[in-house]
Amino acid sequence: MASRSCFSFSIVCVVAVMAFAILATASNAQPLDPHFYDKVCPAALPAIRKVVEEAVAVEPRMGASLLRLHFHDCFVNGCDGSILLDDTPLFTGEKKAAPNVNSVRGFDVIDRIKDAVNAACGGNVVSCADVVAVAARDSVVAILLQLGGPSYDVLLGRRDARVASQAAANKSIPAPTMDLDGLVSNFASHGLTAQDLVVLSGGHTLGFSRCTNFRDRLYNETATLDASLAAQLRGPCPLAAGDDNLAPLDPTPARFDGGYYGSLLRSRGLLHSDQQLLAGGPSPSPTDALVRFYAANPEAFRRDFADAMVRMGGLITGSGGEIRVDCRKVT
């Protein structure tokens, strides 16, 4: 399921194909199948979609939050629902890790989805990890279809982790302060390529970020930040206050479009890690060309984003685990 828009990036494309082959091999221990629930509970996916659509209708920002929840789950020991677990006397979970605390949200929506799915299925047959993966897809798919891009089939059949690790989350989830080399290395450690990095970062076409995540860029990176954007943001994000104040990650935070990449071309990337994808300089990196391509080809971005989400969703670590009744605690 390598990208259908690799065009001239032959090396990136070869790596992408190899990476997906590795993930497919790794998943043999726990086969994933988009039709996993077709017989055991055909009502499962419609039940998930209904709750997601209701939640996003009440709060449009929730779509971006559910997408981010899936990303942060998958980057810590695979897509196993570990991010949903509350702390216990036996472990400190991922919710209070630096990349997640006061930032990752949507846990109450996942609770509502799980209750709805259990009711629709007449029992506990759908894992919380699968709920998160499908909810992420459903939170953006209506916009993708509206703009002419495809939906995508979510691989299903994940098991839920019985433990979570704050330390693993702190180590594994890429930080908004990372430089390009660190980002590429982080994605490679999960079997994902530089193209996956650029495409999945395009998820920042939706949603907002807290001031605490971009304050350093706002005051210390003036050479790579558009002056008008800096002036606009310094009011709601002063040097010593307003940590939780929000700013949009691109100019159209409710539309799944190419605005994110256009912002990078104008030095208006909100996060340091965003602008690093277009570092420029005398020896431009492969990510520079990818940013320019997706800025000019939003349909290719939407196609490749769907492909990359499937690859990321294939990150699993084995066949153990359980199907939790309550996504917040081990059964």
Active site residues: 72
Residue pair 85/155 in contact (Cβ under 8 Å)? The answer is no
Beta-strand (E) ranges in the chain?
208-210, 246-248
- Other C-beta atoms closer than 10 Å to the C-beta of 64 total 26
Helix (H, G, I), strand (E, B), or coil: what is residue 148? coil
* Two tokens, residue 157: 């059949």
Secondary structure class of 71 (helix, strand, coil): helix
Task: For residue 210, give every residue at least 6 positions away whose Cβ sits within 8 Å of its Cβ, in sequence order, or none.
Answer: 102, 103, 243, 244, 245, 246
* DSSP secondary structure code for residue 81 in this structure: S
Measured CA distances, 186 to 173, 183, 238 (Å): 8, 5, 31
Say if residues 269 and 280 touch (Cβ distance below 8 Å): no
Q: What are the backbone dihedrals phi and psi of residue 209, each rounded to the nearest 5 degrees, phi first?
A: -130, 150
Query: Tokens for 34?
Result: 């988009």
Question: What is the maximum alpha-carbon separation in the chain?
Answer: 61
